[in-house]
Amino acid sequence: MVRITSIAKLPVHIDGHPIGEVPVTFKVVKQALKVILPAFATPTYQLQDDPNPPVALPVDAHTTDVVTG
């Protein structure tokens, strides 16, 4: 199981359909989800400026200051 929480009320969508807000818990099913991320951070996004940083980061976005939940 994976539980996603946030200080802010954030919407949750599945396949483009709203299902509610965080917190939300998902059952993990092997090979059921394909996640595609860019290999590098985009020039318009700065992690340190984001009040709600993403849980998943690009491969080269090494940081220890990401706080979620």
Q: Residues 56, 35: contact at Cβ < 8 Å?
A: yes
Q: Which residues contact 57 (CB under 8 A, 6 or more apart)?
A: 37, 41, 47, 63, 66
Q: Please tell me the predicted confidence (pLDDT) of residue 43.
A: 66
Q: Residues 22, 10: contact at Cβ < 8 Å?
A: yes
Q: Please tell me the predicted confidence (pLDDT) of residue 17.
A: 86
Per-domain residue ranges for the chain?
A: 1-30, 35-69
Taking the C-alpha atoms of residue 40 and residue 57, their distance in angstroms, rounded to an integer, is 9
Could you state, in chain order, the average pLDDT of each consecutive group of 10 residues for the chain (69 residues)? 87 86 89 73 70 63 46
Taking the C-alpha atoms of residue 33 and residue 20, their distance in angstroms, rounded to an integer, is 20
Q: Please tell me the predicted confidence (pLDDT) of residue 65.
A: 46
Q: Taking the complete model, does pTM exceed 0.75, yes or no?
A: no
